A and B are shown apart, each in its own frame.
Chain A
Amino acid sequence: MTDPRHIRNFSIIAHIDHGKSTLADRVLQLTHTIADRDMVEQVLDSMDIERERGITIKSQAVRVMYDADDGQTYQFNLIDTPGHVDFTYEVSRSLAACEGAVLVVDSTQGVEAQTVANALMAMNANLEIIPLINKIDLPAADVERVRHEIEEGLAIPADDALTASGKTGAGIKELLEAILVRIPAPTGKPEAPLAALIFDSYFDPYRGVVALIRVIDGHIAANARIRFMATDVVTQVEEVGVRRPANTPVEELGVGEVGYLITGLKDPADVRVGDTVTLANGGIAQALPGYREVKPMVYTGLFPLDGDQYPDLRDALDKLQLNDPALIYEPETSHALGFGFRVGFLGLLHMEVVKERLEREFSLDLLATAPSVEYHVFLTNGKTLSIHSPQEMPDAAGIEHIEEPYLSATVIIPPDYVGAVMELSVARRGVFSTMQYLSTTTVEMKWEIPLSELIMDYFDQLKSRTKGYASLDYEFSEYRAAELVRLDILLSGKPVDALSFIVHKDKAYGTGTVLTQKLKEIIPRQLFEVPIQAAIGSRVLARTTVKARRKDVLAKCYGGDISRKRKLLEKQKAGKKRMKNIGSVEVPQEAFMAILKVDE
């Protein structure tokens, strides 16, 4: 156990791509936590996808020992947090485990939407914030402008900002000294009953669920009987330890310390992020604040292209869920696509990452349907339904009204793009709230916007209409009533359930028209003509036709051409396998995502 006065707990927070993980790498190197020869880039991002995409999905905690200028050695616990809005709750719990935060701002990009959101979150958690202007080695670095934006936009004195380069290592030593001096040491009651916060967890196939915890009061040691308060699960501590970054067992963790906890529990549902660990006997009565159940925001249908892979998909989802309790799923059956799952995600990035991992790590070929949200359907008989997919929408006659989730969205842009954002957001049924200049070059706009519109490619559209300058942050606001209808797509006269979607009544005609055109481009010409229709109930709003194919490649076929021809036919077969047969129509996978592209 370390004297809390020799402990500093901090997070590094940043807008995506502002250099958080590289900065963490330099801290690990400078404190000799990792020998230079063992250094890989983005040490704390252990998943391939994290490294490839340059994003952090799972939180990480690592203990480093810092030899300070005062001649003493301090225990620094660095908690690396996910950098994406999908994981806001996880970030908030990680911040609750800290006393301070290093707010990284890219010196070429300046303050962006998640910089603001992260800073606000850190302020709400009463953290000491050390702004750090990063990437100062770049020629386009504009430290003075960024200082100004930090002061104007975040109300943090510009003089507080440090400068550094994660790439060259410049300024890292100064950062470590500032962490020691400016971030307060943890305070807590060593003699009080145990209170520890779970800020993340992961699944180890040999050890079961491993929780990452921060001890607030008391201490925790092997063999103690403990209780997880939200789930009311009582168990015994098998091992506690610290991550350096490899797991290193210790006898106990005391006030202010950060480490891991292994109990042998196998079900991740028992160990929830944000929950409080206390003693089974004589524990505290009131859990630490801030816990909430994680609720998916976005739903999609995932179907194996090859129906035989259904059990494999189920097993794969089971395995992923062990490390990702936010992932929820239930079986779903589609007439068009067969057996699959309706899967709920924290957001679009989470969805993409999960789908990619399922395909990559479990060798599955998956077809995803267009994302949907949770609608609340109020029926004339007084009942209320929560539906996650268009197929679940009941008959219009029985519906009293429908409510859909709205978000409070923050968009940060240079002033030139205010008009573009206005145009896009209004088209997406957004309601303008406020606008504020953070500096002469940076404007913050706030919108109330339906989540269903936001997940339809809003962010990509926002990026492309602002030449990549816009940044976006959002949080759930409330459910609001809206005039929504289900639009069905019919191929060769038959409705294809997996292509149905829910849309605002006023947009149904336009969306139907564009979507049928998009589908006409996507669906290849077949042996027979394929009529495409968009309809609400029996009322057809738009129609078009994919003409029958007249001719395909007719190449010479002498001697050696025959092998070539056969290989081409095999390739063609493999290509067809990537398509879904719906009735007699071969439909490419991208057709199911075409709804996302109606704005292009």
Chain B
Amino acid sequence: MAMTDRLGRESQKGTSPLCLPSQLAPAAYGALYLHIPFCASRCGYCDFTTEATSPGDPRLDAYVERLVRDIRSAAREGLLAQVTTVYIGGGTPSFLGSRRLVNLVYTLSLSMNLGSETEFTLEANPESLTPALVRDLYSLGVNRFSLGVQSFDDAELAALGRAHDANAARRALATIRERADNVSVDLMCGIPHQSTASWQHSLSEALRGGASHVSVYPLTIEEATPFANAIAAGHQAPPDEDVQAQMMEAAADVLGAAGLLRYEVASYAHPGFECRHNIAYWTGVPYLGLGRGAAGMRTAADGMRERLLDGEVTERLTPAEAMREDLMCGMRMSAGVLHDAVHAAEPLVPGITERFEELVALGLAASAEGRYRPTSRGWLLGNELYGRIWNC
């Protein structure tokens, strides 16, 4: 499959998930997510399902054992037969260490087809990424690493409560690049005391280190996190939306100049290095989630889209809702959505075409070449853009 097809840029023929109306989405799982809810320490902004513990915690072994059993049983039920992307995320998966991760990935290699066409991502943090870990996992089929760097400035890393410094991040990036060419770096803007210059510096460092993919996010204050408490108590300034907007625009400039394309609001990649697993999330492909706090999505026999958490169905969306969700997620990506897909949705989502035209009138979307695409203003005002689609 050509990379362009995965992205759907050449997909007017209707073969890409991007222009498939939801009800035609394949019922089988196309993506597998494994969640590792452990970290060396908890960052000040984090509200993910994870907990800080020590690498010797016996619960880590038990957790991996449990995941191994879950993978085997999913395989026996035939749920992994059509999976083409695997993602081990967290938490901090690399915190498990090479031995436990090898155990997991080896089980996967026995349970499903882990060919070279399978995109297999491991999330890692610099402090727990070792040469041995990269070597072992790469040899078992992990072909993409997503490194949680956030910043190449030591003061900013300390402010975030990260467990690594800039040097560790550089070393980890170099370690991965010795084997894998598909490496993503996560960077964060709007960090307390971060300057535009240091933000540009972090972006350049990621490029210099050989990142083929960069995810950029503005710091978001989530409820009940140490950051939220500090802001409520007046010890910390809340993020400035104008500064964050400028930084997001600066990222587009720096990364664009280096030849990375912005294929999603927060994702930049050299052509061919777009994250297929994430694209699956944004295009209505069913995914299986294993592990504590892992989310899954599937189409039920009655046509409803079900979301699962820890194996329990947590929500059921009607085909119309699923369609609105796909259109909303579609507009996260630069490819946007096909006019045809919007028109096809009209019977189930009355008024949706008019709504897209309204987005164009507001400057949040552009309409050209048979597609609606988000504008850079629309990306920055994502809630407005997505909200108007979801709440149609």
A552–B362 alpha-carbon span in the complex (Å): 16
A490–B214 alpha-carbon span in the complex (Å): 46
Within 8 A of A (CB), among B312-365: 314-315, 325, 328-329, 332, 362, 364
* A549/B241 in contact, CB under 8 A: yes
Distance in angstroms from B188 CB to nearest chain A CB is: 11
The yes or no answer to B265 lying at the interface (CB within 8 A) is yes
Given contacts A551-B241, A557-B281, A562-B325, contact A570 B391 (CB under 8 A): yes
The yes or no answer to A505 lying at the interface (CB within 8 A) is no
* B248/A560 in contact, CB under 8 A: no
Query: Closest residue of chain B to A584, judged by CB?
Result: B362
The yes or no answer to A434 lying at the interface (CB within 8 A) is no
Given contacts A553-B220, A557-B329, contact A563 B33 (CB under 8 A): no
Report the count of interface residues on B (CB-CB < 8 A). 42
A449–B104 alpha-carbon span in the complex (Å): 80
Given contacts A552-B381, A553-B220, A573-B391, contact A560 B295 (CB under 8 A): yes
Q: For residue B314, which residues in chain A have a CB less than 8 angstroms away from its CB?
A: 563
Given contacts A569-B391, A570-B391, A573-B391, contact A551 B384 (CB under 8 A): no
* A550/B245 in contact, CB under 8 A: yes
The yes or no answer to A558 lying at the interface (CB within 8 A) is yes
Query: Closest residue of chain B to A526, judged by CB?
Result: B384
Interface string of B9-41 (1 = CB under 8 A from A): 000000000000000000000000100000000
SS of B interface (majority): mixed
Residue of B294, B381, B390 near A560 (CB, 8 A) is B294
A569–B383 alpha-carbon span in the complex (Å): 7
The yes or no answer to A556 lying at the interface (CB within 8 A) is yes
Given contacts A560-B295, A563-B314, contact A554 B380 (CB under 8 A): yes
The yes or no answer to A140 lying at the interface (CB within 8 A) is no
Q: For residue B381, which residues in chain A have a CB less than 8 angstroms away from its CB?
A: 527, 549-552
Q: For residue A566, which residues in chain B have a CB less than 8 angstroms away from its CB?
A: 325, 328, 390
Distance in angstroms from B201 CB to nearest chain A CB is: 21
* B33/A559 in contact, CB under 8 A: yes
* A558/B278 in contact, CB under 8 A: yes
The yes or no answer to A572 lying at the interface (CB within 8 A) is yes
* A551/B380 in contact, CB under 8 A: yes
Query: Closest residue of chain B to A552, judged by CB?
Result: B383
Q: For residue B329, which residues in chain A have a CB less than 8 angstroms away from its CB?
A: 557, 562
A228–B69 alpha-carbon span in the complex (Å): 87
Interface string of B235-259 (1 = CB under 8 A from A): 0000001101100100000000000
* A550/B380 in contact, CB under 8 A: yes
Q: Of B89, B278, B390, which is in contact with the most chain A CB atoms at under 10 Å from its CB? A: B390
A465–B335 alpha-carbon span in the complex (Å): 60
Q: For residue B217, which residues in chain A have a CB less than 8 angstroms away from its CB?
A: 554-556
Distance in angstroms from A400 CB to nearest chain B CB is: 49
Query: Closest residue of chain B to A557, judged by CB?
Result: B332
A337–B242 alpha-carbon span in the complex (Å): 32
Given contacts A559-B295, A572-B387, A573-B387, contact A554 B382 (CB under 8 A): yes
A554–B364 alpha-carbon span in the complex (Å): 15
* A568/B383 in contact, CB under 8 A: yes
A214–B244 alpha-carbon span in the complex (Å): 72
The yes or no answer to B287 lying at the interface (CB within 8 A) is yes
Q: For residue A563, which residues in chain B have a CB less than 8 angstroms away from its CB?
A: 295, 307, 314-315
The yes or no answer to B141 lying at the interface (CB within 8 A) is no
* B387/A569 in contact, CB under 8 A: yes
* B387/A555 in contact, CB under 8 A: no
Distance in angstroms from B241 CB to nearest chain A CB is: 5
Residue of B220, B307, B315 near A554 (CB, 8 A) is B220
Q: For residue B382, which residues in chain A have a CB less than 8 angstroms away from its CB?
A: 552-554
Interface string of B176-200 (1 = CB under 8 A from A): 0000000000000000000000000
The yes or no answer to B68 lying at the interface (CB within 8 A) is no
Query: Closest residue of chain A to B275, judged by CB?
Result: A558
The yes or no answer to A565 lying at the interface (CB within 8 A) is yes
Distance in angstroms from A89 CB to nearest chain B CB is: 47
* B281/A562 in contact, CB under 8 A: yes
Distance in angstroms from B196 CB to nearest chain A CB is: 15
A510–B89 alpha-carbon span in the complex (Å): 58
* A553/B383 in contact, CB under 8 A: yes
Within 8 A of B (CB), among A471-516: none
The yes or no answer to B309 lying at the interface (CB within 8 A) is yes
A559–B281 alpha-carbon span in the complex (Å): 6
Query: Closest residue of chain B to A549, judged by CB?
Result: B381
Interface string of B86-122 (1 = CB under 8 A from A): 0001000000000000000000000000000000000
Within 8 A of A (CB), among B265-324: 265-266, 278, 281-282, 287, 289, 293-297, 307, 309, 314-315
A50–B205 alpha-carbon span in the complex (Å): 66
Residue of A550, A553, A560, A569 near B242 (CB, 8 A) is A550
Distance in angstroms from B256 CB to nearest chain A CB is: 18
Q: For residue A553, which residues in chain B have a CB less than 8 angstroms away from its CB?
A: 220, 382-383
A573–B383 alpha-carbon span in the complex (Å): 10
Distance in angstroms from B305 CB to nearest chain A CB is: 11
Query: Closest residue of chain B to A563, judged by CB?
Result: B307
A568–B218 alpha-carbon span in the complex (Å): 17
Within 8 A of B (CB), among A565-599: 565-566, 568-570, 572-573
* A569/B390 in contact, CB under 8 A: yes
Q: For residue A560, which residues in chain B have a CB less than 8 angstroms away from its CB?
A: 289, 293-295, 307, 309
Interface string of A520-531 (1 = CB under 8 A from B): 000001010000
Q: Of A549, A555, A559, A566, which is in contact with the most chain B CB atoms at under 10 Å from its CB? A: A559
* A555/B220 in contact, CB under 8 A: yes
The yes or no answer to B227 lying at the interface (CB within 8 A) is no
Distance in angstroms from B374 CB to nearest chain A CB is: 12
Query: Closest residue of chain B to A558, judged by CB?
Result: B281
The yes or no answer to B386 lying at the interface (CB within 8 A) is yes
A557–B215 alpha-carbon span in the complex (Å): 12
A555–B248 alpha-carbon span in the complex (Å): 13
Residue of B265, B287, B328 near A559 (CB, 8 A) is B287
Residue of B218, B307, B362, B387 near A551 (CB, 8 A) is B218
Q: For residue B220, which residues in chain A have a CB less than 8 angstroms away from its CB?
A: 553-555
Query: Closest residue of chain A to B295, judged by CB?
Result: A560
Within 8 A of A (CB), among B115-134: none
* B33/A552 in contact, CB under 8 A: no
Q: For residue B287, which residues in chain A have a CB less than 8 angstroms away from its CB?
A: 559
* A572/B295 in contact, CB under 8 A: no
Query: Closest residue of chain A to B314, judged by CB?
Result: A563
A569–B307 alpha-carbon span in the complex (Å): 18
Distance in angstroms from A528 CB to nearest chain B CB is: 9
A339–B241 alpha-carbon span in the complex (Å): 37
- By a beta-carbon cutoff of 8 Å, the part of chain B in contact with chain A is 33, 89, 217-218, 220, 241-242, 244-245, 248, 265-266, 278, 281-282, 287, 289, 293-297, 307, 309, 314-315, 325, 328-329, 332, 362, 364, 379-384, 386-387, 390-391
Q: 9 smallest A-B Cβ distances: which pairs?
A: A560-B295, A551-B245, A550-B245, A552-B383, A551-B380, A569-B387, A559-B295, A573-B391, A551-B241
17 contacts between A and B (CB under 8 A): A550-B380, A551-B218, A551-B244, A553-B220, A553-B382, A554-B220, A556-B266, A559-B33, A559-B297, A562-B307, A562-B325, A562-B329, A566-B390, A569-B390, A569-B391, A570-B391, A572-B387
Known contacts A554-B265, A558-B89, then 8 further A-B pairs from the complex at CB < 8 Å, ordered by chain A residue: A549-B384, A550-B245, A556-B217, A557-B329, A559-B289, A559-B296, A566-B328, A569-B390
